[in-house]
Amino acid sequence: MWSRNHGRGVAWWLKKLLMKAHVILLVSTDSEVINAVEDAVFSERHGLRVVVDRAGAVRELAAADIDLVILDHTPDLHDLDLFHTARGRVPVLVLADREPKAMNAILRRHGAGSCITKPFTDAGLNAVVHELLAPKTVGAACAIG
């Protein structure tokens, strides 16, 4: 495999494999969800930090350079302050057990960037992650020939 590297050296391939595009913080206690999110985000070469509670998430947000927070489960009203901690700094994606339209509106009002339902596919999760991490353009101009 290494002998057929398409003109690139081993160092280039190792650098490419080890490169992390973004750092994502996952707040979850469910090992199945953790494994599924790991598989999805590692396939896109994102780094992943996992914590099991809101306090750990707040510590990570304060101490590390986090680009996105993924919250497993729709938080109850006591956990909404995590959105206020992340607001304006990083987007928050919520993984919900079902698609509650009223809860989705509450989550967005408190700062969630998006809410997707479980189970999810790698492609579906990565599409939302990509959308939330994409640079936002303000006032993009368009010239017509």
Number of separate domains in the chain: 1
Mean pLDDT of the chain: 75
Q: How confident is the model at residue 80 (pLDDT cuts 50, 70, 90)?
A: low
**Residue 63 belongs to a domain:** yes
Instruction: Quick: pLDDT tens for 97-141.
Output: 766 566 667 677 766 778 888 888 999 999 999 999 887 544 444
Distances (CA, A) of 67 to 52, 71, 80, 91: 18, 13, 19, 7
Lowest mean pLDDT, pick from 8-22, 69-83, 101-115, 123-137: 8-22
Residue 28 maps to a domain:
yes
pLDDT reading at 93 higher than 70: yes
Using pLDDT thresholds of 50, 70 and 90, give the confidence band for residue 40. very high
The CATH number for 122's domain is 3.40.50.2300
Helix (H, G, I), strand (E, B) or coil at 114: strand
Residue 37 is predicted with a pLDDT of 94
The answer to whether residue 108 is domain-embedded is yes
3-state secondary structure 7-20: CCCHHHHHHHHHCC
- Confirm if 119 and 98 have CB atoms less than 8 A apart: no
Evaluate whether residue 86 is within a structural domain: yes
Provide φ and ψ at 55, rounded to 5°.
-60, -45
pLDDT at 110: 67
What confidence score (pLDDT) does residue 62 get?
85
Quick check: 68 pLDDT over 70? yes
Predicted pLDDT of residue 36: 94
* Domain housing 94: 20-133
The mean per-residue pLDDT over the stretch 9-24 comes to: 66
Is 116 among the domain residues?
Answer: yes
